[in-house]
Amino acid sequence: MLLRKAGRLIESAPKSDAHDRPRIGVLAIQGDFDAHAAALREVGAEAVLVRKPEELAGVDGLVIPGGESTTFLKFLERDGFLIVLQEFVRSKPTFGTCAGCILLAKEVAHPAQQSLGVLDVTVQRNAYGRQIDSVIETFETKLPGGPLEMVYIRAPRILKTGHDVKVLAEREGFPVLVEQGKILAATFHPELSADRRVHARFVGLVRTHATNHS
């Protein structure tokens, strides 16, 4: 009797419904994490802010926002956060924008710095100089639905991509939106535009990964 009751309780316990409404973390150390969380909710995900390494345990994917990659690194080096994050990005879908893209890259230049090393690209920090600290442009991409607005803020430039990296959009001949398996990265800030196609693409990656690994 008791056992049957326990069974029923377990069955009715909320399941992580990663296929329908994946739970996606947004690293909330600095940058526009709230805008990312809102964008993820708009495209059907549950968004949670992640401030401690243990909060990565319950999420199906993660967004690493823009900001200053050096500041991120300083924070992450405390309490072994960087090591836990490294494990996470190797096994779960992760989307990095701007500084987040720099953190995911295998190689960082100008100057060289430590990174999570899961995205096979070489990225140059602050590549556009002071004159164009920030700029809004619209380019064609490989995403369906026509040209996409892109907000660049002290953006990095992807100088080199490995064989497995799919280039989804370019600016002046350099990749600005790339995908490698379960990793998505943009050198611009899609969370600052109204167009949700990039976040929708990431939620799609998280759903596919959850389906293939359940």
Which of these is catalytic: 98, 179, 199, 209? 98
Query: Does residue 157 belong to the site contacting ligand GLN (CB under 6 A)?
Result: no
Stretch that binds ligand GLN, among 62-70, 76-84, 140-148, 195-203 (CB under 6 A): 62-70
Site of tokens 């907000």: 151
Considering the complex, state which of residue 99 and residue 184 has its C-beta at the smaller distance from ligand GLN.
99
Site of tokens 């943009």: 186
Q: Can you tell me which of 69, 115, 161, 180 binds ligand GLN, judged by CB under 6 A?
A: 69
Integer Cα distance of 14 and 163 in angstroms: 41
Is residue 168 within 8 A of residue 205, CB to CB? The reply is: no
Among this protein's residues, is 101 annotated catalytic? no
Which of these is catalytic: 46, 101, 179, 191? 191
**Residue 18 token pair:** 């990663």
Query: Does residue 66 belong to the site contacting ligand GLN (CB under 6 A)?
Result: yes
Q: Can you tell me which of 28, 45, 82, 98 binds ligand GLN, judged by CB under 6 A?
A: 98
Cβ-based neighbours of 194, under 8 Å, separated by 6 or more: 149
Stretch that binds ligand GLN, among 6-14, 64-72, 74-82, 176-184 (CB under 6 A): 64-72
Which of these is catalytic: 101, 179, 189, 209? 189
The set of catalytic residues is 98, 189, 191
